[in-house]
Amino acid sequence: MEISKKPPEEEAKIKKLGEFLVKKNMITKEQLVVALSYWGKEDKPFAEVLYNMNLLDEEDMLKILSMEKNTEYFPTDYLLKLDIPAEALTFIPVDFAEKYAVIPIDYDIENDTLLIAVAYGHDLEKIKKIVKEKTGVSRLEIVLTFEYTVYQLIQRTYPKHTGEDVVSLETEGDVYLGPESDEEAFPGIYHTGSVDEVFFSNEDTSDVIEISADSIGSLDIEDNEKKENATLQGQLADLPLPDMLQLLGQNRKTCRIILFHEGEVGEIDMEEGEVVYVKYGEKEGESAFYELVGWEEGYFEITPNVKPRKRIIARTLENLLLDSIRILDERRRNKGF
């Protein structure tokens, strides 16, 4: 039975991938048939079709997408623990990294090969072409991750904006394209073992917790010493900032909230359930807070038990939220909503 009008070799590849998922009991044969039918009619990756059918969670979707795109996938907790060499960062300045949601994570000088992490959802071929043109490296390798992970890495790893241009390395003589395998090129970073071991291990070593409203109250996770300071992550579409702040306030939490939206970053420090410091771009304090509270989309991470950098907001959380409602209403009226 013809499953789509896509190239036969692509059909064969996706069907084989689907059969692999059935073998791993991630989906059923019946679900595979339906998914292949949808995939054949839509201009979407097969992994995304499975995700939209609620057959995969976000993490597994990205794992399968990396297999579909013949690239690698690194989980958030793994990337955030990497010690990125300063030499790798010189290839891509922070402004470029934020614009394209990409960050260099390693550089193999012997083979002139740059390894970059790229946010899921972006055009990988376009990114690869642009970065190669900008950096001039002989070989470029890509790993997939989430957009909020890339922005966390950018925010944590890069120094303040320096205005430095991208470095282009010049090579002499013939260009050597590097080893055949990515594991050989980056032995300190790339996973080892079979596809089964890498993608479908049941071992959970993550210190990152996907957050929901129900998990706010147990933010300190007192019964697990290892995760007392675990980072909690989520999407603002699922838990808007005002709701999040109210829950944190009710539970008198001390924490740091970092928000990511379209390349921009905002930070909020809370102490004993009250907002005491906010930063967004060049703004600090209440003006920064009223900008961030209007974000309806993007990602966030919450790290508990982080000491505030300073206290510059004395008003109560309740008053801040009430004023934010008034300010947001005024903005909507001015825009004609």
- Helix 58-68 × helix 8-23 angle, to 10°: 140
Class of the domain covering 76-189: alpha beta
CA distance 183 to 188: 8
The predicted-structure confidence for 112-144, as pLDDT tens digits, reads as follows 999 999 988 778 888 889 999 989 999 999 999
Q: Are β-strands 299-304 and 255-261 bridged in parallel, bridged antiparallel, or unpaired?
A: antiparallel
| Secondary structure (3-state) at 147 | helix
pLDDT of residue 167: 40
- In this predicted structure, the answer to whether residue 336 has a pLDDT above a threshold of 80 is no
| Mean pLDDT of all residues belonging to the chain | 77
Structure token digits, residue 201: 């291990």
pLDDT of residue 230: 58
Q: Bigger pLDDT: 258 or 194?
A: 258
| Cα dihedral sign, 93-98-104-105 | positive
The stretch 280-301 carries a mean pLDDT of: 89
| Secondary structure (3-state) at 133 | helix
299 alpha-carbon distance from chain centroid: 8
The predicted-structure confidence for 49-106, as pLDDT tens digits, reads as follows 898 888 888 888 888 988 888 888 888 888 888 889 889 999 999 889 988 889 999 9
Cβ–Cβ < 8 Å for 208, 80: yes
CA-CA distances (angstroms) from residue 129 to 73, 227, 228?
20, 40, 42
- Read off the pLDDT band of 195 (50, 70, 90): very low
The whole-model pTM stands at 0.51
- In this predicted structure, the answer to whether residue 186 has a pLDDT above a threshold of 70 is no
pLDDT of residue 335: 64
The stretch 285-309 carries a mean pLDDT of: 88
pLDDT of residue 107: 92
- In this predicted structure, the answer to whether residue 223 has a pLDDT above a threshold of 50 is no
The stretch 305-314 carries a mean pLDDT of: 89
Instruction: Give the residue range(s) of CATH 3.30.300.160 domains in the chain.
Output: 76-189
Q: Are β-strands 102-108 and 113-119 bridged in parallel, bridged antiparallel, or unpaired?
A: antiparallel
- The label of the residue with tokens 């993007």 reads 298
pLDDT of residue 119: 87
The predicted-structure confidence for 4-21, as pLDDT tens digits, reads as follows 567 888 888 999 999 999
Q: Bigger pLDDT: 123 or 291?
A: 291
CA distance 326 to 149: 33
Secondary structure (DSSP) of 201-245: -------EEE--HHHHTTTT-TT-GGGTT-EEEEETTTS-HHHHH
For residue 169, which of 115, 102, 111, 91 has the smallest C-alpha distance?
91
pLDDT of residue 114: 93
Backbone angles phi, psi at 303, to 5 degrees: -115, 115
Structure token digits, residue 113: 């090969």
Contacts of 20 (CB under 8 A, 6+ apart): none
Structure token digits, residue 82: 């990497």
Burial (CB count within 10 angstroms: exposed 0-12, middle 13-18, buried 19+), residue 108 = buried
